[in-house]
């Protein structure tokens, strides 16, 4: 029995950042350093991002009346809180965002809380125990016997390993219903810096959560979704020092050098050819680590510009939400009537290492207006939960 992604739910924090406002905010942090100011302006303007979301309300006030908050002082200057304070904010905000995305996925699938057998979470922007996986079980009313697994520090590529684990669970234990949740609060690790790596990180990263329901495809089940065909992992020849994520005294420190797009552009053809083995693809879901990464993938695979339109749209509206981002893209593809039933979707995501994670999916027919099978039962109590 093959497994499929039955539904995907997404959630973002309420504070919206306009890219031009946050650009000017970072330019003001550079003081009189004109070289840093030019680098900030060029990097932010080239990102092809209009808006992002953050759990930090003071960043939404950038360019206007400054708030005296944990990250911005009353003069409008960026603070550098310690890692413990940043992680405390992760503990405060991550559970609610995770729960919101999970509730949406469950409601859209018509899956009751009691039906969930496994929870798989992924995150690289905070850590604590018991963590978001525990809170999902407790807050959403899942059975206390629900199995839980957490994938940490796999970076932007983590959603595909999480889905792969869910697929393996469904194959090993038919009848399983797996809730996968990716939650990233990247803005918690923002910092004042003239480092090109940090300026790039500040120009693209954002906050968000996404959840997916993964279960087996049973005979006569007409609930649609994305059927999982297979996954693959490839470590590139270079890049171990070019994309990294370490824990420092002032937050998690991102290394994201200008070599990353070039490495991806040089090696993406070999990674994809070894994965697809000549199988045709109708559309692509590519993690938008940044505009230049999408450009390199498009060129390296000789894709039509329209092939990455959904990836570019998610980047433009939400920025790079690390592991959650690829699920935002797949959620749009599930709802996109222009992608017909039977279409194959090739997914690509990139993580530290440099690692390429791949997935091949097939879009299943959407449920008909007059169902031929018994309708799914929704969890009405869950829908009304806080």
Which of these, 178, 224, 246, lies nearest to 366 by C-alpha position?
224
Residue 65 CB burial class (10 angstroms; 0-12, 13-18, ≥19): exposed
Omega prior to 130 cis, within 30 of 0: yes
Query: Reduced to 3 states, what is the DSSP secondary structure of residue 131?
Result: coil
N-term to C-term CA, the chain: 36
- The DSSP secondary-structure symbol of 320 reads B
C-alpha dist (Å) from residue 122 to 42, 211, 217, 354: 32, 10, 24, 18
Q: What is the side-by-side strand order in the sheet with 207-216?
A: 147-152, 118-123, 177-185, 207-216, 3-11, 225-235, 355-364, 344-351, 283-286
Name the CA radius of gyration of the chain, rounded. Answer: 21
C-alpha dist (Å) from residue 252 to 35, 44, 124, 153, 380: 25, 21, 9, 11, 40
The residues facing 267 across adjacent strands are none
C-alpha dist (Å) from residue 54 to 14, 138, 257, 368: 7, 25, 24, 38
Examine the residue annotation and report whether 170 is marked as an active-site residue of this protein. no
User: Which one from 124, 127, 156, 186 is the annotated catalytic residue?
Assistant: 156
Alpha helices of the chain — where are they, by DSSP H?
Answer: 19-29, 34-45, 83-109, 132-139, 159-172, 196-204, 259-276, 291-300, 309-318, 325-335, 380-383
Q: Which long-range contacts (CB under 8 A, 24 or more apart) does 150-154 make?
A: 150/120, 150/121, 150/122, 150/123, 151/120, 151/121, 151/122, 152/122, 152/123, 152/124, 152/127, 153/124, 153/245, 153/352, 154/122, 154/124, 154/323, 154/351, 154/352, 154/355
Residues in the chain: 386
- Location of structure tokens 């999902």: 136
Instruction: Tell me the catalytic residues.
Output: 156
């Amino acid at each position: 029995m093959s497994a499929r992604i039955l539904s995907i739910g997404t959630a973002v924090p309420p504070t919206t950042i306009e890219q031009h406002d946050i650009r000017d905010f970072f330019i003001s942090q550079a003081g009189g350093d004109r070289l840093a100011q030019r680098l900030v302006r060029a990097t932010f303007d080239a990102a092809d991002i209009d808006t992002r979301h953050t759990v930090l309300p003071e960043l939404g006030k950038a360019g206007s009346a400054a708030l005296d908050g944990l990250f911005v002082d009353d003069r409008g200057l960026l603070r550098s809180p310690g890692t413990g304070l940043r992680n405390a904010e992760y503990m405060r905000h991550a559970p609610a965002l995770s729960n919101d995305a999970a509730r949406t996925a469950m409601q859209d699938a018509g899956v009751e809380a009691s039906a969930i057998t496994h929870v798989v979470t992924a995150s690289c922007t905070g850590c604590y125990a018991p963590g978001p996986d525990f809170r999902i079980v407790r807050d959403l009313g899942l059975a206390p016997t629900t199995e839980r697994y957490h994938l940490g520090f796999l970076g932007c590529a983590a959603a595909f390993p999480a889905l792969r684990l869910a697929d393996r669970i469904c194959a090993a234990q038919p009848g399983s219903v797996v809730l996968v949740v990716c939650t990233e609060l990247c803005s918690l690790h923002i910092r004042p810096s003239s480092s090109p790596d940090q300026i790039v990180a500040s120009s693209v990263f954002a906050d968000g959560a996404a959840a997916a329901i993964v279960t087996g495809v049973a005979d006569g089940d007409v609930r649609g979704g994305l059927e999982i065909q297979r996954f693959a992992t490839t470590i590139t020849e270079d890049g171990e020092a070019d994309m990294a994520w370490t824990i420092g005294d002032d937050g998690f420190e991102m290394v994201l050098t200008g070599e990353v797009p070039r490495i991806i552009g040089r090696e993406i053809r070999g990674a994809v050819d070894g994965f697809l083995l000549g199988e045709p693809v109708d559309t692509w879901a590519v993690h938008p680590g940044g505009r230049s990464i999408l450009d390199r993938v498009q060129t390296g695979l000789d894709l039509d510009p329209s092939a990455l339109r959904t990836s570019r749209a998610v980047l433009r509206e939400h920025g790079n939400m690390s592991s959650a981002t690829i699920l935002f893209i797949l959620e749009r593809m599930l709802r996109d009537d222009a992608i017909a039933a039977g279409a194959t979707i090739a997914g690509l995501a990139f993580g530290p290492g440099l690692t390429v994670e791949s997935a091949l999916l097939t879009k299943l027919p959407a449920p008909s207006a007059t169902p031929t099978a018994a309708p799914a039962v929704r969890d009405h109590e869950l829908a009304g939960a806080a």
